[in-house]
Amino acid sequence: MNLSDSKKKLALAGIVCGLVAVCLAIYGNPANMAFCIACFIRDMAGALGMHQAEVVQYARPEIIGLVLGAFIISFATKEYRSTGGSSPMIRFVLGMIIMIGSLVFLGCPLRMVLRMSAGDGNAWVALIGFILGVGTGAFALKKGFSLGRAYVTNKTGGMVLPALMVGVLLLSVFTSLLKSSESGPGSMHAPLILSLIGGLIFGAFAQKSRMCFAGGIRDVILMKNFDLLTVIVGLFAVMLVYNLVSGNFVLGFNTPGVIAHSEHLWNILGMYAVGFAAVLAGGCPLRQLILAGQGSSDSAVTVLGMFVGAALCHNFGLASSGTSLNPETKELVAGAVTTNGKIALVICIVVCFVIAFTNKRKEA
């Protein structure tokens, strides 16, 4: 089925992915974090012992499902193509930047859209930063930014990340080696089989529709093309309806339990870094997982960068805290961005500029 020959079908892909997110939220994923790539990679990094934040450790089957869903559908439809060799270490750094920016904001672009659909004003503020970041990346593209071409590699090269994901799945099902949170967001999850199926479906539809949050805005800026944005609008519409019907829609800024903070400048800068780095890396966190599933070793390296970035965020105190209610006093405790997080984020943005304007296409 060609999902991209009309805007209606693209919107349908977004709606299906939105329904997956709704199901996962209903069956136990954290409220307002039904499906977040950054948060879930952070949880997986915790499960693997890469960081020691006890409340965010769980081998999220959704991430495994996304990669395997893209791998299976691309293999079945003869679109699997093992490629690599396009500045892998720069992509690794971009993956780290994407994760640091996401965890300062508290969510990837997918979760930003989910939070927007639930009325979280902070996510709408962060959208400004994301658009500016993508715009800066698009400007760099216009100025000749390039990480160099990828080459076709041995067929098995692109299968490494999907195989590693199968390994993590087997460890989580058959052993007790992986860490698993007993409280906090990491302890809140839908049943494993449902999460895995949800991830597989989401991954397959994202592969077929080329869903990409950064790409959607990039295409509007560079070509006034709204195709990719249509997928996002479909996803947003489903989540908005669900939130309105279920009573989860709360318009405001300081909403406890949402896992968000109201430091506007840092919400903007966090998503600015994510948007900028995502355009330079050729896709948002979700897209990186999908590209890795369909054979790109370059994207797989970006994903590894995101894992390391997540570990750094919690080992060095870069991740922000969310607004919450003190369980004893019932007072509102405002979420905050840490000083380390602010310093790291400024460094990340500087590094993005260095990467963007020092890696140029070679003139013939």
Partner 1 sequence: MRQKELKLVVTFHTTADAMAMEKACKNAAVPGRLIPVPRMISAGCGLAWCAGLENRAQIVGLMEQTGIEQEELHECMV
Residue 233 structure tokens? 């609008």
Using CB under 8 A as the criterion, what x/- string covers residues 196-215 for binding partner 1? -----------x--x-x--x
Using CB under 8 A as the criterion, what x/- string covers residues 282-301 for binding partner 1? xx---x---x--x-------
Say if residues 51 and 310 touch (Cβ distance below 8 Å).
yes
Least distance in angstroms from the C-beta of 324 to partner 1:
38
DSSP string covering 172-235: HHH-S-S---SSSGGG----HHHHHHHHHHHHHHHHHHT--HHHHHHHHHHH---HHHHHHHHH
264 scored as a contact of partner 1 (CB under 8 A): no
| CA 96 remoteness from chain centre | 12
233 scored as a contact of partner 1 (CB under 8 A): no
8 scored as a contact of partner 1 (CB under 8 A): no
Using CB under 8 A as the criterion, what x/- string covers residues 110-149 for binding partner 1? -------------------------------xx-xxxxxx
C-beta of 47 vs 291, nearer to partner 1: 291
Say if residues 298 and 150 touch (Cβ distance below 8 Å).
yes
Task: Select from 35-43, 100-108, 225-233, 338-346 the region that touches partner 1 (CB under 8 A).
Answer: 225-233
Q: Which residues contact 56 (CB under 8 A, 6 or more apart)?
A: 39, 42, 43, 46, 181, 184, 185, 186, 314
182 scored as a contact of partner 1 (CB under 8 A): no
- Separation CA 65–CA 46 (nearest Å): 18
Q: What are phi and psi of 177, to 5 degrees?
A: -70, -35
C-beta of 68 vs 190, nearer to partner 1: 68
Phi-psi region of 28 (alpha: psi -120 to 50; beta: other; left: phi over 0): left
Least distance in angstroms from the C-beta of 222 to partner 1:
7
231 scored as a contact of partner 1 (CB under 8 A): no
User: How many residues bind to partner 1 according to rule CB under 8 A?
Assistant: 36
User: If we measure between CA atoms, which residue out of 262, 245, 271 comes closest to residue 334?
Assistant: 262
Least distance in angstroms from the C-beta of 42 to partner 1:
25
Residue 151 structure tokens? 């080459």
What does the binding site for partner 1 look like in residue numbers (CB under 8 A)?
Answer: 2-5, 74, 79, 81, 86, 141-142, 144-150, 207, 210, 212, 215, 219, 222-223, 225, 227-228, 282-283, 287, 291, 294, 360-361, 363-364
